[in-house]
A and B are shown apart, each in its own frame.
Chain A
Amino acid sequence: MLIERKWKKWLYFYLPMAAFIVFTLFPFYWMAITAFRPDNELYATWRQPNAAPLWTLHPTLEHFVGLMKTTAFPTWLWNTMAIAMVATGISLVCGMFAGYALARLKFRGSEFLGTAIFITYLVPQTLLFIPLADIVRDLQLGNTPWALMLTYPTFLIPFCTWLLMGYFKTIPKELEECARIDGATRFGAMVRIIFPVAIPGILSAGIFAFTLSWNEFIYALIFMSSADQKTVPVGVVSELIRGDIFFWGQLMMGALLGSVPVAIVYSFFVEYYVTGLTGSVKG
């Protein structure tokens, strides 16, 4: 073991660690405190002597009430949740099937297909949004949740396939072969033997896909036009800024409420999420 002196530990460890924690978490603290701060305190200028902007002695729910009264926030939250769940479900099923095929089955062009799927993984949404908007409209999907439920898988399927392919490769072949000797079909062995063993990998892919869907912005911004179809990020951007006026209290309340569900899901599955995250960049 390397032994360190106390002051050294403070200088090289506690101090930088504390700085990282403040840097990382302060914006969220600020988001939360703004959401509960009354307007007259909120709009105290930076030079005002008595302003104490780091906390508030008069927490209020006025922004919450305002948000609920003037916007369709609960609907946005529901839309975001439903879209993220359906898009994740579709991507997981496609990713499990495709990942299994690429990891286990021998067929011509499997290497080419693996590479092609990897490349689509790296195509950013901002490259294709203009023609995609026309395709969505031509398919009569514009302004319906299906526009997002079907397009989000474009960036989730490659990721799920890649991650699960890696996971399936780590499962010993013998497991399947035993089941096949006992008379199981290939498909049956995959569904009843391999998929259950791969549940940790599937969970990782699912959690990661869910947070990515929750975070998506540009497709939702372009494909959804009416207020009751929007997702939280788009609703907050387009409905809480009226003209040039920012309703900061309501904005931050909306941001906070839009962040909490995904943070809760994440907190339950931190380890799986981390596996998904680190797996997402492994070949």
Chain B
Amino acid sequence: MGGRRAGQDLHLSAEQARVSRLTRLLESEKALAAALLAPGVAILVLFIAYPFVMALWYSLTSIRVGEPGEFVGLANFTKALNDLIFQQAFKNTVFYTFWATVFKLALGMWLALLLNRHFRFKRIVRASMLLPFIIPTVLSAFAWRWMFDPTFSVMNWALYHGGVITDRLPFLSSGDWAMWCAVLVNTWRGMPFFAITLLAGLQTISPDLHEAAALDGANAWHRFWHVTWPLLLPVTLVVVVFSVIQTFSDFQLIYVLTGGGPANSTHLIATYAYQIGVGSGLLGEGAALSLFMFPVLFAVVWVQLRYLKRMENG
């Protein structure tokens, strides 16, 4: 009887010792930090850092689906630079990103200023304004594609019966029109993000500043330009950076709306890389095409990081 008790005690204290060793280890800040960071970092290393290294390697080889390929140096990159469709896709991506960002910023700012006022049903209006950003892009892009349909377009119907047009507008069937349509849909989807984020920034600006400026005789435009805009600049810059990254690397909207057509006039870097890498199975070339996004994204991120540093220092 006494022996068993002693054995149990021994067993218990061994367990306690193990527990307390673990507790003591976790009391060390370094050990606890390592344990807490491990799961997240493991996922990021396995599914971001590792594929990034692999993408670099792929882009230097002639790998295809089911064929390991061999080292080809920079051949995939030079091929891309001489590829007329890729040149077009790159230009399209810059055009698409530039104009969509300009419109999103302008309209988003306008909407934010409107939403910053007091009016009835404000909460529900603000909530519904975010819907384009919440609803999966693929699904809403289909609604737009249907609205742009060559034969059954509701917009052609409305404009025709409103007496604005006599012949239908070639929304997605002409190259120039299709690109502007894509910019429009991207603006529609991204504008709420700008509006709501800028609205949050606006709400931190004291109304006293506006009243003071108004007393000094500044009109609405001057008040916006000299009071609101400078104070909003930091949040605006961050939102623009996020939006540029998202727009520059966009895939799903174009994939659904035009598939890159007509005649490659709306292909973006990502949709073209998908077509080459997944559609044709040329993994090496596709990886190289994707990597053309990297310098631009890197530059944007660099600006952002420098800016954050400056904020921290002063």
Which residues on A are within 8 Å of B, measured CB to CB?
2, 13, 16-17, 20-21, 23-25, 27-28, 30-31, 34, 42-47, 51, 53-54, 90, 93-95, 97-98, 100-102, 105-108, 110, 113, 115, 117-120, 122-135, 150-151, 153-154, 157-158, 161, 185-187, 211, 214-215, 217-218, 222, 232-234, 236-237, 246, 248, 251-252, 254-255, 258-259, 262-263, 266-267, 270, 273-274, 277-278, 280-283
* CB neighbors of A among B16-70 (8 A): 23, 26-27, 29-30, 32-34, 36-37, 39-41, 43-44, 46-52, 54-55, 58
How many angstroms between the C-alpha atoms of A254 and B132 in the bound complex? Answer: 17
CB atoms of A46 and B32 under 8 A apart:
no
CB atoms of A95 and B140 under 8 A apart:
no
B222 interface residue, CB < 8 Å from A? no
Name A's interface SS. Answer: helix
User: A17: which B residues are within 8 A, CB to CB?
Assistant: 114, 119, 125
How many angstroms between the C-alpha atoms of A273 and B200 in the bound complex? Answer: 13
Q: In the complex where A24-B132, A215-B136 touch, is A128 in contact with B51 (Cβ < 8 A)?
A: yes
Which of the residues A117, A127, A154, A158 comes within 8 Å of B293, measured between beta carbons?
Answer: A127
User: A232: which B residues are within 8 A, CB to CB?
Assistant: 136, 139
CB atoms of A252 and B251 under 8 A apart:
no
CB atoms of B131 and A24 under 8 A apart:
yes
Q: In the complex where A20-B111, A107-B30 touch, is A267 in contact with B251 (Cβ < 8 A)?
A: no
The contact string, 1 if C-beta is below 8 Å from chain A, for chain B 119-138, is: 10001010111111111111
Could you count the A-B residue pairs with CB atoms below 8 Å apart for me: how many are there?
292
B305 interface residue, CB < 8 Å from A? yes
CB atoms of B196 and A278 under 8 A apart:
yes
How many angstroms between the C-alpha atoms of A31 and B140 in the bound complex? Answer: 8
**Most chain B CB atoms below 10 A, which of A21, A44, A124:** A124
CB atoms of B246 and A266 under 8 A apart:
no
How many angstroms between the C-alpha atoms of A192 and B203 in the bound complex? Answer: 34
- Segment of B5-13, B94-102, B146-154 in the binding face: B146-154
CB atoms of A98 and B152 under 8 A apart:
no
25 contacts between A and B (CB under 8 A): A24-B129, A27-B143, A27-B144, A44-B152, A94-B39, A98-B40, A101-B37, A124-B293, A125-B249, A126-B250, A126-B290, A127-B249, A127-B297, A128-B48, A130-B283, A150-B47, A157-B43, A217-B255, A233-B136, A237-B255, A251-B142, A277-B197, A281-B235, A281-B242, A282-B235
What's the nearest-Cβ distance from chain B to residue A265, in Å? 9
* CB neighbors of A among B288-306 (8 A): 290-291, 293-294, 297, 300-301, 304-305
Q: In the complex where A217-B138, A218-B274 touch, is A120 in contact with B44 (Cβ < 8 A)?
A: yes
What's the nearest-Cβ distance from chain B to residue A157, in Å? 5
How many angstroms between the C-alpha atoms of A25 and B134 in the bound complex? Answer: 12
Which of the residues B256, B283, B311 comes within 8 Å of A237, measured between beta carbons?
Answer: B256
CB atoms of A107 and B33 under 8 A apart:
yes
What's the nearest-Cβ distance from chain A to residue B23, in Å? 5
CB atoms of B48 and A154 under 8 A apart:
yes
What's the nearest-Cβ distance from chain A to residue B281, in Å? 10
Further pairs besides A13-B117, A237-B255: 18, Cβ < 8 Å = A31-B140, A46-B153, A46-B160, A98-B36, A101-B37, A107-B33, A113-B37, A122-B300, A126-B269, A127-B293, A130-B55, A130-B290, A135-B46, A186-B29, A258-B139, A262-B136, A277-B133, A281-B235
CB atoms of A274 and B196 under 8 A apart:
yes
- Ranked nearest first, the 6 interchain pairs of A and B with the lowest CB-CB distance are A124-B249, A94-B40, A131-B54, A126-B270, A233-B138, A255-B139
User: B308: which A residues are within 8 A, CB to CB?
Assistant: 283
* CB neighbors of A among B259-292 (8 A): 269-270, 273-274, 277-278, 283, 286-287, 290-291
CB atoms of B278 and A118 under 8 A apart:
no
Q: In the complex where A126-B270, A126-B273 touch, is A23 in contact with B44 (Cβ < 8 A)?
A: no
